[in-house]
Structures are given as structure tokens and as C-alpha cells.
Structure 1
Amino acid sequence: MSAPLDSAAPVPPATRLAEMRARLLHGVPLEDSAGRKNLLLLIQLRWIAAAGQIASIAFVTLFLGVTVPIAPMLGVILGLVLLNLGSLLRLRLKRGVTNLELFAALLFDVAGLTTQLYLSGGAANPFTSLYLLQVTLGAVLLKPWSSIALVLVTVLCFAGLTTNYRPLEFVEQEGLGLMSLHIIGMLICFALNAALLVVFVTRIGNNIRERDARLADLRQHAAEEDHIVRMGLLASGAAHELGTPLSTLSIILGDWRRMPSLTANPELADEIEAMQAEVRRCKSIVTHILMSAGEARGLEAGMTTMHQFLDGLAADWRATRPNANLRYENSFDRNMPIVSESTLRQVVFNVLDNAYEVSPDRILFHAARVGDQLRLRVEDRGPGFDPAILASLGKPYQSTKGRLGGGLGLFLVFNVLRKLGGNVHAENLANGGALVELTLPLDALSIEENAT
């Protein structure tokens, strides 16, 4: 399986892909995941703001002798706390956070900051520069129209605070004038602004990059699936076209077996029998291609058990490769009823064929149950994977066979397993040879799951 194995870079977990597909199918854009994270960041920032406001009120009242309207200011802080609790309840809903919701959340924050500034000196309060934090977050989080609207709102609020505010009652202390306190406040506000911007803008940027990475993954898998659909159509068409000549050959060979001039020669009779066996094998391959493409499945699919499915799979493959030294081990702990999955059968055949090409004298096929998953392991004693092949495992046309159009084996294996919610792992063994391990959830095969 080494060189011939031809696929696959590790794919994202099946649950993650399923979630992304479900989001798209239900009209929920992937940006919603970043929106929920960004709303959570605003909630965290609001907790910091509430704690900072409480600390500021206590500090200026107890140590600087500044009289502030404590009750109204604590009322604003209580409003921020209630807004945060409501936002946390909103996040429990299984739907994305829209741009309008983020815009409204930032407007509430601006309103809270404006009210606190109105109660504590208006535009002369050094903490007015915290408006820049809201504007910066809006520019990063919001769509252009809403970020522009947020800028206009903050400008209007700042302008209003120049004429409408409640003056501070300040008791001057020795060594500390009003201007000195203002400068100290500006320094504290600048440091706070800088620290919060670095922390939160960095985290928001990470959220955006994660969203872009998910979108890139989804586009990549969509392109791969489109590639598979086109190959499936081609294979299905070829299978249909091959059906007629194979049937004709079967009829001709049947006629030859009844001709006295041919049956009288034992060597010719044996060769005719061998040709008929090969034609039957070709017809079986064509049938499995059509089944894997979704055609004839209604006639061929049926209920079986795990042991019958695995034992029959190993026996059928061994029958088509009489020269192969296949050691089959089945340690699946119970003989559960399943639906016979032809695509999984073709996947295992593909992996076994790759192993046969490099190690016909020794192939190990082992089936076992690990938790709620079926694990199938195929080992060979060939030369192992080329490092370049391992690095691009799962990509099409990655092969060392040197054939035009080769390298589709494990590419199809990875994509079929991903469709079934499973995964593929491949590696070189320490004592030589290669290992390919297929895992998929039992729910993908169980009768109960497929019947729902």
C-alpha cells in the first residue's frame, strides 16, 4: 500500500464538516460562528467596563474627594449587568448573531458610557477617549453602514457632552490640582484603551481568521466532491456502455461451450471457462460501480449482520485475488444487524487492491469495534509510503505508480469515509510496510440509524 496508496491530507473532523453543511443547507452563513464569538467578546468587555466603573467610582470618592452621583451611576452599571445576562441568554439560542445585534450591543455600550460621562463632568472627563474603543470595535465587527452609523452616534454624544453634563464637585487636595488629576486620568484612560484594543482586536482577528479557514475548508471539500461527482458520472456512463458488450461476450462464450468442436479440446474448454469467469468478474465490477453511483441500489441493498458483511467482503476479495496471501481477522464483539453498504465494500476493496499491488504475499485485514466505531485495518509488507505521498494524502492524482490519471484510490476512500462520518489514517510501520486504518461510526451502518 505504500507507493500505490494515493490520497489524503487529514480532513477536518466529520462533525465539523456536517455542521458546516447543515448551516449552509438551512441558510445559516458560516459568519454566524464568528458573530457568536464576537458577541461573547463584547460581553467580556462589558464585564470589564462594569468592574472598572465600580473601581473608578470608589477611587475618586474615597481617595480624591470627588463627589459623584453614586446611585444613578450604579444604576447604569446595573443596566450593563442586566444587558450582559440577556446577551448570555441570547447566546444559548442555536442561531447566529447578526450584524444588527452586534450594532445594537455597541449602541447600548455607547449609551452607557455617555450616561456615565454625563454624570461625571461631561466632555471634560478624561475617559471620553473610551469612545474610540467603541468606534474601533465597530469598525472591526460591523458592516460598513453600521460602523459609519456608530461613528456618527459617538460624535453626536461627545458633542452633546460639551454643553449638557453634570459638573463634578471637586475638593482640591494638597499637591493635586484639577489639571493634574485630568492628566492622570488621561494617562490611565490611554493605557486602558491601548490594552483593551490589543487584547480584543487580536481576539476578533483570530475569530475572523478561523471563519476564513472554515470557509476555505468548505470550498476545498466542495471542489473535491464536485470532482467525485464528475468522476462518478463518467464511471456510471462507462459502466452502462460496458454492460452490452459484456453481455454479448457472455452469450458468445456460452455458445462456444456448447459447440462440439470446441468442447472436444480440453485446453480450449478450460480457456473458455476462464474467459467466462473473467467476464462474470467484469460484470460484477460494473454492477458495483452502478451501485456505488446510486443506481440499482434499491435492488441490491439489503439487511445483513456485521459478521456476514465483513466475512463476505473478505471472501469475495480473496476469490478475485487467488494469488493473494490475505490474513483476515474479525474481532468485532457482537454480530449487530446492519444495512449492507456497497460504497464501504468498494472502499475496502480499493485499499486491499493497493496493498495487493505492493505486497501480494502478505496482507493483513483486521476488523474490530472501538467504542461506537467500526475500525478496519489493512497492513502490508511493501516499501511503505513515500514521504511526499503521505504529506498530500487524500488529494487526487497523488501516486507513484506512474500511470496517467492514477492516484484516485485513496482520494475516493477519504471522500466516501467522510460522507459516512468516518476518517482515514495512513502511516508507515516501524518494521516495514504500511498501514491504512478506516474508522466510521456504527450509526452509519446500523439499521436503526438508516431507518430513521
Structure 2
Amino acid sequence: MSQSVPASSSRNLSFSTLRFGGAISIHWFIYLRWVAVLGQLATVLIVRYGFEIPLEIQPLLITIGVTALSNLGLLLWYKTYGQRSGRIQQNPQWSHVLAGIMAFDLLLLTCLLYFSGGPSNPFWIFYFVNLCLAGIELTAWVAWCLNFLAVFCFAYLLYDHRLLDAPAISSVLPSIRDVGQVTLAHNGVFCAFVTCASVIVFFTTLVTSKLRSREEDLRVLERQRIRGEKLEALGTLAAGAAHELSTPLGTIAVVVGELQHELARRTEDPLLMDDVKLIRSELDRCRGILNHMSAQAGEGSVDKKLDLTGQQLFQDLLKQLPDTSRVVNSITPAATRCIVHVEPYVTNQALRGMIKNALEASPPETQVHVTLDHHEGKLRLSVSDQGTGMPEHVLSRMGEPFFTTKQTGKGMGLGVFLARTVVERLGGEMQVESSPGQGTTVRCLIPCRDPG
């Protein structure tokens, strides 16, 4: 006569918990409570009419009916609200509802036991079933609160309960109120209950927390594996692009060289000569980038890791920006002296992309703020723009390769992905804060050490 759970359901529940990180499906929970209602009703009828033990049928049926009505209310709540909320077990409101229902079930179990012999009824052991389920599904402090509630309820049953009209059962452990004193049996049973309940809650919460931690670690490793595969694909793409573009760029370089030589012989127009020089310099820059891409794809990295001060990293970072007049930069003294061990070219290219993104996102008349400071043993680069910001659904996808909010042809959606990858490969992290109408702030934290 309790919120019992069949053995097969317990195995399925454990399997569900291991797979989904301790978030039981609400369908399973409603199903288990219906099984409990049927089990309680069948137990009452069998004891009353099968074993012919006199029971107060009316309060027992009322308690079972309250359980059924509460489960029906839970089902209606899920149909009207839960299905609109998507995966409801990930919603904090669901954890509150689940904790409340489990506490309510403990009280209902206490009512059933109160009218059917109290601790003399062997079904009081189902307190442990409810506590085990709470330890698996709820946070540790909530599970311990339910444990204290169960101990209080059991202590009340020891103090007072309705005796069964069956001498062989009622004489096993009469209530303290009927005996008039706390006997050694009462103390022993109460201590055993407290010990078993506490051990169950302690180990279930401990194992569940370990499993959740392990599952989170597995998710992190899986994300890293997927990111590595994407990087490998991008490396292959870069190598192919470098190979295919090297020939036409070489041809253009030859033609531009001949054009530059011919113009120098035929004209003295300085503006025209400056344009040709600009074309040649940009062409050399493109060829240098392609050579770097080709070497990086073939050898893993052309850069050797070097020790740079924060000042050197910051100065190199601000070079080759499209509009330095709009960049307001600052560096703290602590960050100036810090030493970072990085690949200069790759790191600067990745972090410089964050500043370029901020310049493109901000209106032409506004400024972008770039700061470098020292924060908890890391260099922290902060880039703040004055753009339109991003809503939550766009912010959640930041860093995905080939995802971009720019117009077609303005970007490939690789800047944030590559920057995050480079920073994390250095043992750091990237943080993005944004809200519609308030701009975006990107913080890149890279481990550093003090000069010694």
C-alpha cells in the first residue's frame, strides 16, 4: 500500500537515467504513478477480502483517489503547458513540480500506512523506493529535504497510527501513544530507518552526480571531436584552394609586373603608378596567405610557438586593420608584462578577425573598443562593438562553421569558429555577450605567466 514501482520499471528507469543524464521522461513518471495507484488498490482489496484482515476501507480509498486525481492533474498540466515547452524535463519548472509531487507522495504513503497499521505494516519499506527515485532525479539538497520529510513522517507513525484488528500484526510494534513510552523497539526501528534512508539518499545522489559529470565530460569530448573533424575538413579545403589559386595569381603577378614596367616607361602619372603598386602589394599579400594556408594544411602548422609579451601580441594584433581610426584600444600594465606561448601568425589572424567583425557590425561613425587586461592568470582580450546585437537563437549558434548573419558574399561564417578553436587550443576560452539593440562583446582568455 505505497507508491510502489515494479522491478522491470526500475530497470527501465535506471536505463533512462543513464542515457539522458538523470532527466526522467514525464510520460514515464505519470505511468509509474498510475501503476502505483493500481498496485495500492489491488493490495487493499487483496488484504481486505483475500486475507480477511479488517481495514478502514473508506480513508484508504480516499487516499488512493487523491493520488489518482493528482496524477490526472499532472497529466492535464503536461498536455496544456508541457507540450508547448518542448523538452520539459530540461525546464527548471519541471524540477520544482517533480519535487512537489514526490513530497506529496510521501505524505500520501504516510496516510495509507497510518490507517493500516503504521510501522507494523511491512509496506513502509516503500519509503525507500521514493527516496531512491528522489536521489536519482532531483538535486542533492532537495533529495535530503525529502529524506528529512520521510524521517518525520515515519517518526509520526511510530508515535501514532490506527491498529489493525489482527493481534498477530498489531502487537508487533504498537504506537508510542498506546504504550505510553518510547521502547527499545521504537528506538531501534527509528534508528534503522534513519540510517537506511540516509545511506540510500547519499549513495544515489553521489552516483547520479558522478554519472552526470561523466556525461558532461563525454559531451565536451564529443564537441571537441566534431570540431576537430571540421578543422580537418577546412584544412583540406584550404589546401585545395591554395593549389587552385596559385596558378592564376602567378599569371596575374607576371602581367602586373609587365604592366608596371611599361607604365613606368610611358607615363609619369603618380596616381596611376600608385594604383599599380597597390595592386602588386595586395597580390603579394594574397600569395603569402595562400602559401601559409598550403604549408599549414600539409604540416599542421607553419608557426613555431613563441613567447610573446602581452604588449607584443597587442601591437601585432592591431596591425593590418582596415580602419584603425575607429579602434579605441587600451592595455593594462599587468597585461603588458605577461608572457603567452602562442603561434604568432595564427593567433593574430584569428583574434584580428574579431576586431574586423566588430568594425563591420558597428555603424561607420561609431567606435570599437579593444582592451587587453590580466584576469585570473589569463590575458583577456575584450572587443566591444556598437552594432544591433544578436537575439538568443542567433547567439546560441555563434561559432558554428559557415553560420553567418552577414549578407551573401560578405563573409563565410568562419571567423568566430576559427578564433574559438585557436583560443581553446591554447587552453583558453571565448565568451560572447550580446542582446538586441545593445551591441556585442567578445572576450578571449588565453593562459599566460608572469615574467620570471
Q: Which moved more, 1:394-403 or 1:287-296?
A: 287-296
Letter in 2 for 1:399: T
Q: Does 1:280 align with 2:284?
A: yes
Letter in 2 for 1:421: G
What is the alpha-carbon distance in structure 2 between the residues aligned to residue 372 and residue 323 of structure 1?
29
Instruction: Name the residue aligned to 1:64.
Output: none
CA distance change for structure 1 residues 302 and 294 in 2, over 3 Å: closer, same or farther?
farther
Instruction: Name the residue aligned to 1:327.
Output: 328
Instruction: Name the residue aligned to 1:310.
Output: 314
What is the alpha-carbon distance in structure 2 between the residues aligned to residue 433 and residue 293 of structure 1?
35
CA distance change for structure 1 residues 367 and 274 in 2, over 3 Å: closer, same or farther?
same
Question: Following superposition of structure 1 onto structure 2, how do residues 67-146 of structure 1 map, counting pairs within 5 Å?
Answer: none
Q: Does 1:374 align with 2:375?
A: no
What is the alpha-carbon distance in structure 1 between the residues aligned to residue 210 and residue 307 of structure 2?
46
Q: Which moved more, 1:304-313 or 1:352-361?
A: 304-313
* Structure 2: runs of 5 or more not aligned: 1-17, 19-121, 137-177
CA distance change for structure 1 residues 346 and 292 in 2, over 3 Å: closer, same or farther?
farther
Letter in 2 for 1:249: I
Q: Does 1:218 align with 2:221?
A: yes
What is the alpha-carbon distance in structure 1 between the residues aligned to residue 312 and residue 241 of structure 2?
31
What is the alpha-carbon distance in structure 1 between the residues aligned to residue 194 and residue 304 of structure 2?
71
Q: Alignment partner for residue 233 of structure 2, among 223, 230, 251? A: 230
Q: Alignment partner for residue 444 of structure 2, among 419, 423, 438? A: 438
| Cα displacement string for residues 264-295 of structure 1 (whole angstroms, at most 9, x for unaligned residues) | 26354343223212212312432453566574
Question: Following superposition of structure 1 onto structure 2, how do residues 154-173 of structure 1 map, counting pairs within 5 Å?
Answer: none
Mapped contact 1:356–1:363 kept (Cα < 8 A) = yes
* Structure 1: runs of 5 or more not aligned: 1-30, 32-125, 141-174
What is the alpha-carbon distance in structure 2 between the residues aligned to residue 337 and residue 427 of structure 1?
27
Instruction: Name the residue aligned to 1:412.
Output: 418
Instruction: Name the residue aligned to 2:392.
Output: 387
Aligned residues: 275
Mapped contact 1:364–1:379 kept (Cα < 8 A) = yes
* Cα RMSD after superposing both structures: 4.2
Instruction: Name the residue aligned to 1:264.
Output: 267
Instruction: Name the residue aligned to 2:203.
Output: 200
Secondary structure of the structure 2 residue equivalent to 1:221: helix
What is the alpha-carbon distance in structure 2 between the residues aligned to residue 255 and residue 349 of structure 1?
34
CA distance change for structure 1 residues 291 and 371 in 2, over 3 Å: closer, same or farther?
farther
Q: Normalised by the size of structure 2, how large is the TM-score?
A: 0.51
What is the alpha-carbon distance in structure 1 between the residues aligned to residue 281 and residue 377 of structure 2?
40
What is the alpha-carbon distance in structure 1 between the residues aligned to residue 340 and residue 215 of structure 2?
39
Shift of the alpha carbon at 1:303? 5.8
What is the alpha-carbon distance in structure 1 between the residues aligned to residue 188 and residue 226 of structure 2?
56
Q: Does 1:401 align with 2:406?
A: yes
| Cα displacement string for residues 223-276 of structure 1 (whole angstroms, at most 9, x for unaligned residues) | 122112211221133224333332332222112111158752635434322321
CA distance change for structure 1 residues 264 and 388 in 2, over 3 Å: closer, same or farther?
same
| Cα displacement string for residues 386-416 of structure 1 (whole angstroms, at most 9, x for unaligned residues) | 3322233333344322548943321222221
What is the alpha-carbon distance in structure 1 between the residues aligned to residue 316 and residue 399 of structure 2?
27
Shift of the alpha carbon at 1:193? 3.4
Letter in 2 for 1:375: R
What is the alpha-carbon distance in structure 1 between the residues aligned to residue 190 and residue 306 of structure 2?
75
Q: Normalised by the size of structure 1, how large is the TM-score?
A: 0.51
What is the alpha-carbon distance in structure 2 between the residues aligned to residue 324 and residue 276 of structure 1?
25
CA distance change for structure 1 residues 324 and 358 in 2, over 3 Å: closer, same or farther?
farther
Shift of the alpha carbon at 1:421? 0.9
Letter in 1 for 2:445: T
What is the alpha-carbon distance in structure 2 between the residues aligned to residue 258 and residue 296 of structure 1?
39
Mapped contact 2:338–2:448 kept (Cα < 8 A) = no
Identical-pair percentage: 26
Secondary structure of the structure 2 residue equivalent to 1:259: helix
Shift of the alpha carbon at 1:323? 7.5
Letter in 1 for 2:384: E
Instruction: Name the residue aligned to 1:51.
Output: none
